[in-house]
Amino acid sequence: MSKHTMIRLLVAAFLVVILCGASQDDGDLTGRITNLESRMSALETAVDEINRKLNVFLTQVATPEKADQSGDGLSDGDPIRAEIAVGLESEFNTLRIPLGEIEIMSQLSSQFESNDFENKRFRFDTLELLRKFETLGLLTLREHQQAEMDTMRRMGAKTVTVRATERARELQDNTESDRDQLVFRMGGCEVVQVVRDEQYQSQFLPQSERFRLIVGIYRWTPSEITQLADPTVREREFRFQALLKHDPFNDTYAFHAADWGELEGRDWVTENVQ
């Protein structure tokens, strides 16, 4: 006898015991029989309802709930892998070089300010990077001369004109580069393993939106410009955690934020996922 059948019999027997015990307090035999028939009818109705609910319960237990798309494993051809890879490239493997007339802060000011692309004002270490690209034949630089009083008034800042060479234009990312900036992809990313895939929510995210957190390993392959800058660099693998936002109209997920870390490390280098 199965456990399911045993449960049903026990429920029915329990109800019969209650019924019989209650019927002993009734009047004469005819009244007891009438009362018993009435109670038996009610019992049959109750048992039918119990059986119906039990069948629903057993069906739910026996049939695994269909996994949500967001909690399922990602196959090699899953478009979400490609979405994450593009997001990682954009977030961590994109270098933007300002073009035109820009202002380079003094070393002192650079300690307290960040690069400002909108106003073309950059930290002192940006000049070192520009000079490196100039030696690679990708840029031409012209530092503007200024009087001593101007230097003091500008707190040591200097003006530099940056121009791209034909070689730089060949290596640039044409989809994002424009007259004000050169954009280079420093490497390509490929998601090679997913170790966690789950729904995600936190106090820092809109509660009305659905998010998905995917953790895994990605392979980074240096681009041509990276190898030009450093011929010794090689392909490597890193950890990542990527946050994706659900689009309810298309039922798709779009890259929202990510962090990366060394493969053997425990902490994330960045703190973008909150």
- Collapse the DSSP code of 241 into the 3-class scheme (helix H, G, I; strand E, B; otherwise coil) and give the result: strand
Q: Are 172 and 164 in contact (CB under 8 A)?
A: yes
Residue 44 banded pLDDT, cuts 50, 70, 90: low
* Strand residue runs (E) in the chain: 94-98, 100-104, 121-122, 139-143, 158-164, 181-185, 187-200, 211-222, 236-247, 252-262
As given in the structure block, the two tokens for residue 174 are: 């044409």
Region 175-196 average pLDDT: 95
% residues pLDDT > 70 (the chain): 72
Does 59 score more than 50 pLDDT? no
Region 151-174 average pLDDT: 91
56: exposed, middle or buried (Cβ count in 10 Å: 0-12, 13-18, 19+): exposed
Does 53 score more than 70 pLDDT? no
- How does pLDDT run across 207-239, given as a tens digit for each residue? 999 999 999 999 999 999 999 999 999 999 999
Region 17-23 average pLDDT: 48
The pLDDT value recorded for residue 127 is 95
50: exposed, middle or buried (Cβ count in 10 Å: 0-12, 13-18, 19+): middle
The pLDDT value recorded for residue 147 is 81
- How does pLDDT run across 71-116, given as a tens digit for each residue? 445 665 689 999 999 999 999 999 999 999 999 999 888 999 999 9
What is the edge-to-edge ordering of all strands in the sheet holding 236-247? 187-200, 211-222, 236-247, 252-262
Q: Indicate the fold that domain 69-92+186-262 takes in CATH.
A: Nuclear Transport Factor 2; Chain: A, (3.10.450)
What is the Cα–Cα distance from 113 to 96, expressed in whole angstroms? 18
Residue 145 banded pLDDT, cuts 50, 70, 90: confident
Residue 65 banded pLDDT, cuts 50, 70, 90: very low
As given in the structure block, the two tokens for residue 181 are: 């900036």
**Average pLDDT of the chain?**
82
Q: Among 66, 74, 87, which residue's Cα sits nearest to residue 195?
A: 74
% residues pLDDT > 90 (the chain): 64
- How does pLDDT run across 113-129, given as a tens digit for each residue? 999 999 999 999 999 99
The pLDDT value recorded for residue 64 is 35
Region 24-49 average pLDDT: 58
As given in the structure block, the two tokens for residue 201 are: 């929510």
- How does pLDDT run across 159-170, given as a tens digit for each residue? 999 999 999 999
